[in-house]
Structure 1
Amino acid sequence: MRQLFINHIPTEKTALLKEDGRITEVWFERPERTPQVGAIYSGKVTNVEKGIKAAFVDIGTETNGFLHLSDCNQPPVEGAKILVQIKKAPIGSKGPVLTTDLSIGAANLVYLPVGKQVHVSRKLTDDQQQELRSFFVDMLEGEEGVILRTAAVNMQKESLIEEWTYLRHKWKNRTVRNEPGLVHSTAVIPDQVLQHYPLHTFDQIIIDDAATSKEWKKSFPSYTDHIKWEREFEAALGTTVQSVQERIVNPVVEGSLHIDETEAMVVIDVNSAAYTGKSNKQQTALQTNMKAVVAIVEEIRLRRLAGIILIDFINMDDKKSESKVLQAFKRTAKQHGLFLNVHGFTRLGLLEVTRKKEQPSWKSFLGAHDFHYSDTTTFFQLERAILSLNNSAHEAVLIGLPKEWECLKNRLISSGISSKIPQELFFYIDPNSSTFSLETGSVETVREIVASRGFHIDKGF
Structure 2
Amino acid sequence: MKKVIVNMSTREKRYAVTDNGKLVKLEMMTPNQQSLVGNIYLGKVTKVLPGMDAVFIDFGQEKNGFLHRDQLPSYQRSKPDPSATIGKFVRQGEKLLVQVTRDETGTKGAKLTGLIELSTEYIVYIHGIDYVGVSRKFADPHSQRKWRTAAFESKRADEGLIIRTSMETQDLAMFQKQLSALREQYAEIHNKAAALKSTGLLYAEDTFLDSIQREINAEEAGEVIIDNFAGFKELEERLSLQSGAWKAVYYKEKQNIFSGEKVEPQLERALKKIVWLDNGGYLIIEETEALTVIDVNTGKYTGKAEKEQTIFETNLQAASAAASQIRLRNIGGMILIDFINMEDTDHRRKIIEILKDESRRDEMRSTIVGFTELGILQLTRKKTSPSLSEKVTEVCPCCRGTGKIESAETIAFRLERELMEHRHQDEEAVWVEISEKAAKALLGDREAYRPTLEANLGMKLYITNLEGLHNSYVIKRFGSIAGIEIAVKTAER
Bin the TM-score by the shorter chain: 0.5 to 0.7
* Match of residue 330 from structure 1: 356
Is 1:367 aligned to 2:393, yes or no? yes
Q: Please give the alpha-carbon distance, in whole angstroms, between the structure 1 residues aligned to 2:346 and 2:177.
A: 51
CA pair 228-26 structure 1, distance change in 2 beyond 3 A: same
* 1:249 counterpart SS class: coil
Q: In terms of mean alpha carbon deviation, does 24-33 or 224-233 score higher?
A: 224-233
Partner of 2:490: none
Q: Please name the residue that 1:413 is paired with.
A: none
**Residues 1:151 and 2:165 aligned together:** yes
CA distance in 1, matches of 2:102, 2:354: 36
Contact 1:132 / 1:153 at 8 angstroms: preserved in 2?
A: no
Identity, % of aligned positions:
24
CA displacement 1:214-236 (0-9 Å, x = unmatched):
22333442359623142247558
Within-5 A mapping of 1:87-236: 97=112, 99=114, 102-110=116-124, 121=133, 127-129=146-148, 147-156=161-170, 180=198, 181-187=200-206, 189-192=208-211, 194-195=213-214, 198=217, 200-220=219-239, 221-222=241-242, 226-232=246-252, 234-235=256-257
1:273 maps onto 2:300 in alignment: yes
Question: What CA distance in whole angstroms lies between the structure 1 residues aligned with 2:182 and 2:245?
Answer: 21
- Which one-letter code corresponds to 2:12 in the other structure? E
Q: Residue in 2 aligned with 1:341? A: 367
Write the deviation string for residues 122-178 of structure 1: whole angstroms up to 9, x where unpaired.
6775533466799x99xxxxxxx994524243244699899889989999999x896
Aligned to 1:425: none
Provide the secondary structure at the position in 1 that maps to 2:386.
coil
Query: Are 1:318 and 2:344 an aligned pair?
Result: yes
In structure 2, the gaps of 5 or more residues are 76-88, 136-142, 401-466, 470-493
Report 1:390-401 matches (<5 A).
Answer: none
Q: Residue 6 of structure 1 corresponds to which residue in structure 2?
A: 6
Number of the residue aligned with 1:245? 267
CA contact (8 A) 2:58 2:64 kept: yes
CA contact (8 A) 2:292 2:334 kept: yes
Cα distance, 1:363 vs structure 2: 1.4
Change over 3 Å in CA distance of 1:125–1:151 after alignment to 2: closer
Specify the SS of the correspondent of 1:226: strand
* Pair 72,94 (structure 1): closer, same or farther in 2 beyond 3 Å: farther
- CA–CA separation in structure 2 for the residues paired with 1:71 and 1:150: 23
The residue that corresponds to 1:258 in the other structure is 283
Deviation for aligned residue 1:248: 1.4
Alpha-carbon spacing, 1:205–1:314, altered in 2? closer, same or farther (3 Å):
same
| CA–CA separation in structure 2 for the residues paired with 1:353 and 1:93 | 21
- Superposed counterparts of 1:433-444, under 5 Å: none
Q: Secondary structure at the match of 2:300?
A: helix
- Does 2:21 match 1:21? yes
The amino acid that maps onto 2:167 is V
TM-score (norm 2): 0.55
- Residues in 2 aligned to 1:130 and 1:311: alpha-carbon distance in whole angstroms: 42
Instruction: Provide closer, same or farther for how the CA distance between residues 162 and 225 of structure 1 changes in structure 2, counting only shifts above 3 A.
Output: farther
Distance 1:366 1:47 in 2: 32
Whether contact under 8 Å (1:4, 1:17) holds in the other structure is yes
- Distance in 2 (CA, whole Å) between partners of 1:321 and 1:47 is 51
3-state DSSP of counterpart to 1:26: strand
AA aligned opposite 1:218: E
For 1:111 and 1:330, the matched residues in 2 are separated by 28
- The change in CA–CA distance for 1:259 and 1:228 in structure 2 (over 3 A counts) is same
Unaligned runs of 5+ in 1: 138-144, 375-431, 435-461
Measured in 2, the distance between the counterparts of 1:5 and 1:208 equals 9
Partner Cα separation in structure 2 for residue 54 and residue 351 of structure 1: 31
Query: Within 2, Cα distance between the matches of 1:313 and 1:93?
Result: 30
State how far apart, in whole Å, the 2-side matches of 1:48 and 1:344 are: 37
- The answer to whether the 8 A contact 1:343-1:352 is kept is yes
* Equivalent residues of 1:109, 1:146 under 8 A apart: no
Give the match for residue 458 of structure 1.
none
Q: C-alpha offsets along residues 276-333 of structure 1, whole Å, 9 cap, x if unaligned?
A: 5x75333333333323322222112111223343333344443443343343333343
Aligned-pair distance for 1:211?
A: 1.3
Question: Partners in 2 of 1:12 and 1:86 — Cα distance?
Answer: 23
Q: Distance in 2 between matches of 1:172 and 1:9?
A: 37
SS at match of 1:363: helix
| TM-score normalised according to structure 1 size | 0.58
1:167/1:330 CA distance change after superposition, 3 Å: same
Give the whole-Å Cα distance in 2 for the aligned partners of 1:355 and 1:160.
32
Q: Distance in 2 between matches of 1:41 and 1:16?
A: 30
The verdict on how the C-alpha distance between 1:110 and 1:270 changes in structure 2, with shifts beyond 3 A counting, is same
- Equivalents in 2 of 1:225, 1:270: separation in Å? 42
Letter in 1 for 2:21: G
Question: Are 2:258 and 2:264, in contact at CA under 8 Å, matched by a contact in 1?
Answer: no
1: distance between equivalents of 2:94 and 2:342?
66
Contact 2:283 2:318 in 1 (8 A): no
Q: Distance in 1 between matches of 2:266 and 2:363?
A: 21
Q: Cα distance, 1:250 vs. partner?
A: 0.8
Check conservation: 1:260, 1:268, Cα contact below 8 A: yes
Partner of 1:282: 308
